[in-house]
């Protein structure tokens, strides 16, 4: 009954959550939208009131009005006294539109996150107008389309540019700002006031004498704006500024190559904007993380990026073009300086084409800089980029707002971090032990009939589960990376060993199951596969341990190469046996349980039952019960006769010579009989032994032992009959008489 109540409560909570989400999303059409047509685009703001929708389209000077039915809008777009039918369809996620405009054809729109865009400051001075123009333009280049309204409010078109179609103006604005980005300037050099109604600000380009004049004009309300020139002027200015690039402008993604200090900052800011999608990698690429252990670069790199973007916000960084874009000057660029650390961008190597990044010293001290700049008064406007949400900062804000005393600490740790660390570690250890026990119980139930469960496996799984959960704790709590450098190599080595133990057990289970599925014929291939997998497990554990000790992959490969050469020289025979096993696997010469006969080569002449095929050698049990260990390399070089699964049948005969037994006759009889038995296909090669075994009252005893090649009882009876007839014929030819005890049982005494 209790589980049923829990399920019902959970379902009710989910239903209430869905209803609340629907209520919160009662006006999905309201917001800022980035519109696109086949011939251009514009920015629109829509407002939904019940089933009615109204809005305005910037630049075009048109308004939108109509009604909503479900996810479809039907209405008009009014422009220049004309009404054009407009139909829009809202997608399920409420973040894009598609539709048709009678005057402009197909159209689509993407929602712009504008709720986080603060209000623009007053543009009552040339410096304020130019700062707003560059700030909003940079935000748009970073992908924050919600700043279109602020950008458009900071500009005006030159009279000659008004003749172009309104939808072409957005492209003209982008092209002009691209030219501004080719220069380097400090916004503070723009005059804070001017008695004239117009002011021209010269923007200089590094590495050339080119100058981009920017015209600012004051309107009747005393507000200053940047004047966008006409297309002919843009073409001339573009030609002058692109001369240093050989006439080819940088692409929209060229900043990701980190060729200049500005590229590094641009890449980092772009990464913060796209943090939830692909931005993490871009942001981390602009940080010099070479001093971080390889196992911590991902987590600690994200944490450092979080501190850096917040520190930039605290100091009010807003001027991307104040950072040089000259790749030829390799001097470091200081963004912020403090006795406890600085924010510096520099090349990460001495090479002329080495990429630029925030220095390792910046990454190492950025946490201290964040805590220092946190006390600064907040800036009036937002900083460039965005501040990605991170659990560690949200936890810190939570404890700081409710328990300010927990923000104090020593040795780089704050009290709340220590408290949470202890709780999470104890929980991870307990949960890891429980998971290890559960997994071992399941494995025991599944594999107890296949292979025994090693006692050390539970401890290995416990360590792996615990470390897997603890791995994320530094990033969640924002722990200083310096304190992790001591533990990572040791813990990483233990994890590598534990992972090797688990992988070793998995290999054993896998090969055992595969052996039962394939049968004896593939025993050699399975043993070779088992050996290769075990070598792979050992190599993987070694590479993982090297990674934990921050040994780079090239160094590991170089060490393996040098060590491999040394091992190859010292272990030539072992390697030969390994390749011999590969030859046997490829030829599928024999399997476990087969009786084989080998002749020639280093293995000599031998025969017996194959009992096991190993990674280096093969075990063969001969007819007398002894076990021979033959190197695989030797077996691969000899002639092998495979008699299959049948076991050769022993033939033991004792002949009594009772008449005519002279020395010459007996020796000739034995020699001829040995020669003919050895040449006969009825007996296995190398199994024939004949000789005088004793002298008794009735005569001389001659013992004949051999292994029959017969596979059935009938074949064995026929071979025995033929052999005895041959013995009698040979005895008559030699003038020897055989006694009545022609065949002696194997358990009879040798002497009467």
* Residue numbers of the domain that contains 76: 31-112
Asked if residue 419 belongs to a domain, the reply is no
Look at residue 681 and tell me whether its pLDDT is greater than 80: yes
How much is the pLDDT for 535? 82
Per the confidence metrics, is the pTM higher than 0.75? no
The string of pLDDT tens digits covering residues 188-228 is 999 998 888 999 999 999 888 899 999 999 999 999 999 99
The string of pLDDT tens digits covering residues 276-311 is 888 899 999 999 998 887 767 888 899 999 999 999
Find the helix packing angle between 231-241 and 169-181, rounded to 10°. 30
Asked if residue 402 belongs to a domain, the reply is no
What are the DSSP E strand ranges found in 680-733? 689-695, 700-708
Is 124:221 a contact under the CB 8 Å cutoff?
no
Asked if residue 516 belongs to a domain, the reply is no
Q: Which residue has the higher pLDDT, 385 or 565?
A: 385
Instruction: State whether 94 and 132 are in the same domain.
Output: no
Look at residue 425 and tell me whether its pLDDT is greater than 80: yes
Length of the chain: 752
The string of pLDDT tens digits covering residues 480-504 is 766 666 677 788 888 889 999 999 8
Asked if residue 70 belongs to a domain, the reply is yes
Instruction: State whether 708 and 688 are in the same domain.
Output: yes
User: Comparing 173-177, 427-431, 620-624, which segment has the lowest mean pLDDT?
Assistant: 620-624
DSSP 11-58: HHHHHHHHHHHHHHTS-TT-EEEEEEETTEEEEEEEEEETTEEEEEET
How far apart, in whole angstroms, are the C-alpha atoms of residue 149 and residue 151?
Answer: 5
How far apart, in whole angstroms, are the C-alpha atoms of residue 471 and residue 548?
Answer: 13
Asked if residue 418 belongs to a domain, the reply is no
* Domain-ending residue, one of 112, 142, 162: 112
Instruction: State whether 636 and 660 are in the same domain.
Output: no
How much is the pLDDT for 115? 52
Instruction: State whether 282 and 358 are in the same domain.
Output: yes
Asked if residue 400 belongs to a domain, the reply is no
pLDDT band, very low/low/confident/very high, at 157 (cuts 50, 70, 90)? confident
Look at residue 329 and tell me whether its pLDDT is greater than 60: yes
Q: Which residues contact 117 (CB under 8 A, 6 or more apart)?
A: 144, 146, 147, 149, 150, 382
The mean pLDDT of 607-623, rounded to a whole number, is: 77
Instruction: State whether 136 and 203 are in the same domain.
Output: yes
Is 216:201 a contact under the CB 8 Å cutoff?
yes
DSSP 48-95: EETTEEEEEETTTTEEEEEEEETTEEEEEEEETTEEEEEEEEE-TTSS
The mean pLDDT of 731-748, rounded to a whole number, is: 65
How much is the pLDDT for 171? 78
Instruction: State whether 150 and 179 are in the same domain.
Output: yes
Q: Check residue 288 and report its DSSP letter.
A: -
Instruction: State whether 373 and 264 are in the same domain.
Output: yes
The mean pLDDT of 528-533, rounded to a whole number, is: 78
Asked if residue 697 belongs to a domain, the reply is yes
What tokens does 437 get?
């026990």
Q: Which residues contact 739 (CB under 8 A, 6 or more apart)?
A: 655, 656, 657, 658, 698, 699
How far apart, in whole angstroms, are the C-alpha atoms of residue 676 and residue 725?
Answer: 13
Look at residue 312 and tell me whether its pLDDT is greater than 90: yes
Instruction: State whether 193 and 259 are in the same domain.
Output: no
User: Comparing 10-24, 429-443, 502-516, which segment has the lowest mean pLDDT?
Assistant: 10-24
What tokens does 2 get?
């209790």
Q: How many domains does the chain have?
A: 5
DSSP-derived pairing of the beta strands 737-738 and 700-708: unpaired
Look at residue 428 and tell me whether its pLDDT is greater than 90: yes
The mean pLDDT of 635-662, rounded to a whole number, is: 77
Q: Which residue has the higher pLDDT, 203 or 379?
A: 203
Look at residue 145 and tell me whether its pLDDT is greater than 60: yes
How much is the pLDDT for 81? 79
Q: Which residue has the higher pLDDT, 559 or 536?
A: 536
Instruction: State whether 655 and 624 are in the same domain.
Output: no
Instruction: State whether 677 and 728 are in the same domain.
Output: yes
pLDDT band, very low/low/confident/very high, at 7 (cuts 50, 70, 90)? very low
Q: Write down the mean pLDDT value for the chain.
A: 82
């Amino acid at each position: 009954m209790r589980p049923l109540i829990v399920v019902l409560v959970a379902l009710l909570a989910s239903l209430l959550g869905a209803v609340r989400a629907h209520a919160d999303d009662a006006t999905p059409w309201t917001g800022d939208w980035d519109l696109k047509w086949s011939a251009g685009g514009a920015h629109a703001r829509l407002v939904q009131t019940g089933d009615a929708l109204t809005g305005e389209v910037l630049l075009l000077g048109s308004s939108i009005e109509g009604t909503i039915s479900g996810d479809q809008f039907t209405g008009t777009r009014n422009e220049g006294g004309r009404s054009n039918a407009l139909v829009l369809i809202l997608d399920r996620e409420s973040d894009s539109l598609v539709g048709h405009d009678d005057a402009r054809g197909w159209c689509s729109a993407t929602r712009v996150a504008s709720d986080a865009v603060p209000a623009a400051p007053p543009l009552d001075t040339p410096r304020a107008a130019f700062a707003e123009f560059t700030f909003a333009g940079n935000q748009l280049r970073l992908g924050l389309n919600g700043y279109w309204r602020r950008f458009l409010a900071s500009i005006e078109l030159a009279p000659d540019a008004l003749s172009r179609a309104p939808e072409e103006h957005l492209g003209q604005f982008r092209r002009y700002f691209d030219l501004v980005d080719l220069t380097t300037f400090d916004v503070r050099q723009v005059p804070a006031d001017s008695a004239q109604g117009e002011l021209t600000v010269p923007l200089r380009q590094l590495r050339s004498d080119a100058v981009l004049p920017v015209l600012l004009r004051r309107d009747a309300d005393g507000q200053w704006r940047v004047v966008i020139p006409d297309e002919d002027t843009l073409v001339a200015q573009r030609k002058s500024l692109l001369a240093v690039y050989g006439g080819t402008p940088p692409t929209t993604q060229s900043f990701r190559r980190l060729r200049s200090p500005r590229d590094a900052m641009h890449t980092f800011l772009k990464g913060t904007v796209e943090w939830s999608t692909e931005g993490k990698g871009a942001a981390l690429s602009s940080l010099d993380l070479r001093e971080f252990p390889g196992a911590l670069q991902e987590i600690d790199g994200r944490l450092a990026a979080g501190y850096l973007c917040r520190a930039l916000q605290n100091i009010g960084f807003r001027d991307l073009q104040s950072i040089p874009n000259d790749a030829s000057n390799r001097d470091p660029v200081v963004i912020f300086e403090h006795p406890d650390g600085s924010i510096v961008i520099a090349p990460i190597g001495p090479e002329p084409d080495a990429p630029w990044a925030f220095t390792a010293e910046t990454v190492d001290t950025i946490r201290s800089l964040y805590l220092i700049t946190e006390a600064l008064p907040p800036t009036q406007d937002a900083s460039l980029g965005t501040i990605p949400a991170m659990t560690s900062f949200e936890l810190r804000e939570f404890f700081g707002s409710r328990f300010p005393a927990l923000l104090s600490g020593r040795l780089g740790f704050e009290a709340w971090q220590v408290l949470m660390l202890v709780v999470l570690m104890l929980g991870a250890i307990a949960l890891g032990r429980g998971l290890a026990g559960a997994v071992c119980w399941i494995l025991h139930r599944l594999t107890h009939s296949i292979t025994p469960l090693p006692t050390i496996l539970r401890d290995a799984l416990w360590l792996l589960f615990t470390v897997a959960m603890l791995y994320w704790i530094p990033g969640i709590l924002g722990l200083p990376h310096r304190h992790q450098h001591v533990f990572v190599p040791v813990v990483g080595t233990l994890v590598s060993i534990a992972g090797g133990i688990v992988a070793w057990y998995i290999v054993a289970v896998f090969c055992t199951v595969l052996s039962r599925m394939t049968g004896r014929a593939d025993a050699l291939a399975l043993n070779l596969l088992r050996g290769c997998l075990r070598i792979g497990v050992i190599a993987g554990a070694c590479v993982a341990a090297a990674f934990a000790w921050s040994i780079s992959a090239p160094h590991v490969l170089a060490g393996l190469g040098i060590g491999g050469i040394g091992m190859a020289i010292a272990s030539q025979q072992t390697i030969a046996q390994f390749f011999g096993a590969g030859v046997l696997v490829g030829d599928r010469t024999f399997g476990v349980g087969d009786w084989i006969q080998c002749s020639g080569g280093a293995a000599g002449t031998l025969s017996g039952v194959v009992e096991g095929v190993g990674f280096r050698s093969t075990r063969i049990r001969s007819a007398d019960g002894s076990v021979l260990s033959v190197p695989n390399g030797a077996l691969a070089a000899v002639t092998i006769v495979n008699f299959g699964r049948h076991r050769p049948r022993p033939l033991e005969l004792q002949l009594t010579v009772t008449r005519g037994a002279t020395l010459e006759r007996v020796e000739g009889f034995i020699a001829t009989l040995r020669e003919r038995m050895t040449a006969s296909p009825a007996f296995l090669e190398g199994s024939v032994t004949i000789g005088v075994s004793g002298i008794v009252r009735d005569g001389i005893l001659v013992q004949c032992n051999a292994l029959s090649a017969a596979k059935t009882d009938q074949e064995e009876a026929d071979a025995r009959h033929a052999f005895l007839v041959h013995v009698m014929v040979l005895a008559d030819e030699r003038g020897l008489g055989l006694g009545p005890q022609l065949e002696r049982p194997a358990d009879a005494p040798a002497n009467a």
